[in-house]
Structures are given as C-alpha cells and as structure tokens.
Structure 1
C-alpha cells in the first residue's frame, strides 16, 4: 500500500474501493468481477478489500447503493438550481443535462444495469427494486414531472444505459443507424458524448481475473 493511501481516512479508502468496484463490476458484472481486480484498480491489497467489506457480495451491494445514491444526488442537485417556476419541460431538460455527469462515470450506471439482472437474488433484488423506485419517486414528485413524464424520462435513461453497455458510441462514426439513434437521445451533444464514452477505458485483461 502506498504512502498516499496510508494518509487516507477510512472513509476515503472506502470511497476509493467503491469507485474501483464500480469500474470493475460495471464492465464485468457480479460474476466476472473479482475482489482481486478491484483491489488492483483501487491500489490496495485484496485482504484490505475483504476486511473492509467482508465478501464480494457485500461489496457489490455497497457499490450498487453508491450508484443509486449518486443518480438521485445528481438529479437533486440539478433541481436545486432551479427557482421553482419552471415548466415540466424545463425541469425535464435540467435533469437531462445532469445525466451527462452520470454518463461520464460509466461504472455508476453500468453497475446498476448489472444489478437489474439480479432481480432474482434475495439480497440484490429487493435493494435494486426499492432504489429504482426511489429514483422514479424523485422524478415524479420532487422534480414534479408526474407519472407519465417521469416514466418516459426513466425509459430514455435505460436506453442510454443500454447503448453504453453495448458500447454503441464506439460504432457511431461508422454506422449511420447507430449515429441516428444516439442523435435522437443526445441531440446537439451527440459528438461530445460519443467522444467521451468512446474514450472510456476497457479494463486490461490482467485486471479481469
């Protein structure tokens, strides 16, 4: 463990590991991600990761909680900047703009995507269902979108997440249909977001084991 890591507080180290876990689980999922790979990305020992979280499942659950909290915190910050007189369309646009901050952190959204596929799991299933409904309730009530607009907003977000999981932006320059679909999602921001998501690193093979 480096001298820099030794100066970090326990909470800082926890966040460092959870950020690394988001990167690894986001790309590899729960089954493919390992505590060893997460430790290497975080720059700590595997023993330290296990000591802090207890097991890979508990680490995945913590990473999922962190991802869901980050989504709501990002949306809440966007709404807090408004004066309360905006129309539903203007509030929806503010939330859409804030989504760029989430897209920049692929691990956050993709960890949630992997959690969605574990709805059958007795621990992960109840957690992700409740947290996803928390996001829906926020959009519907705190953001004031109402049920129909809130559900459309979440549906668009899921389409964005699915495209990211497939790395659809990687073929945007060579496939007109991919470019068209991304353009429908991102509008004038398409070029910038394609560049940002295409540049997102893929874990080296050595960190996949």
Structure 2
C-alpha cells in the first residue's frame, strides 16, 4: 500500500502528508497552503475543495481518497477520479456486513480495498475498544490517519477537519458541505480523540485547526 500511495503522490519520497477530514473549517490561507503543498494529500468520504473566488480554506489538491460504500458523494468526490487513488475502507465487513455497489460510482472506477487484517484490526486493538463483542468500527478519519502514520512514519503528517478531536462528546456531526448526521453507534469517538491527541502530543501528527 505504501508503494501504491507513493505512486500517486506529487513528490517522492513522501516527506509530508496531509490528511483532511470533513468537519466544517473556517477560511484559513495558511492551512490551505499547508495542505496543498504536502507531498501526499489524503481526503475522505464526502469531501469538498476550495473553489475559485472563495477564501482559501481546505485547499484544492487530492491524491488519495479514503472512503466507504455509504459515502454521499459531493461534486468533488469523483471529479478527475482517473487521476486519483481510491482506497475503500470496510471495517464493518469484520462483522458480516454484506458487500454493496452504489449506483453513484463511475462504472469504470478502480479501487483498492484497505486490508482489515493489516489496518482495521490493529487500530481497533490500539483504541482498546470491545470491537468484537459490540460490533464496533473506527471512523474513516481515524482510519485514514492510521494509514498515514503506519505507511509514512518518517513523514511530517498534518491532520485537520476531524471535529471529534476537540468534541468527543458529540452525538451528531456536521460536514463541511452542510449536512448533519448522527454519530454512528459503531463508533467510539472519545477513544479515537484520545488516541489522536496522544499522537499530536508525541509528534507523530500535527493537528491543525
């Protein structure tokens, strides 16, 4: 997976990675520049990009899309899809959820499944949650961050747009493109917040607000 992501990166070797979530962000030109100048930019699920004429906020560059089968596609998700790597995360397949193929996907979309054995299971154990007994799964945001930390441990990793880092008690969250939805019952975002904060403290990632 490291070699594949590197093949889609702007520069190699990958010395800087930006992981961009979907939480609402205020305009910030410094943040947008930091994202767009990273060697590898990972976005997720229903992401949005800056558009011409708007204040810089979350940047415009995408190399890798980490997303799941129930993603509600924005206008940006499949734009230029032939130029990006699509990494499909399916943590609930560990609990027997069936495979499904959304009709919104391009017919010729190429994708790579993210291994539950290599990434989801170790992350569940790291979170210290009873994932087998309670049918739990990490959020796409934490899983995408774990991919970056695991695959590029020597890179400078910027993480932004994950609201639960600062608000682990929330029961519903808003996306940057406007909608609200409840936090899935399969998530334990307090534990995810604690893990990401520890990585920020020890320098594995830099969380940017």
Q: TM-score, normalised to structure 1's length? A: 0.33
Q: TM-score, normalised to structure 2's length? A: 0.33
**In proportion to residue count, which structure has more strand?**
2
**In proportion to residue count, which structure has more helix?**
1
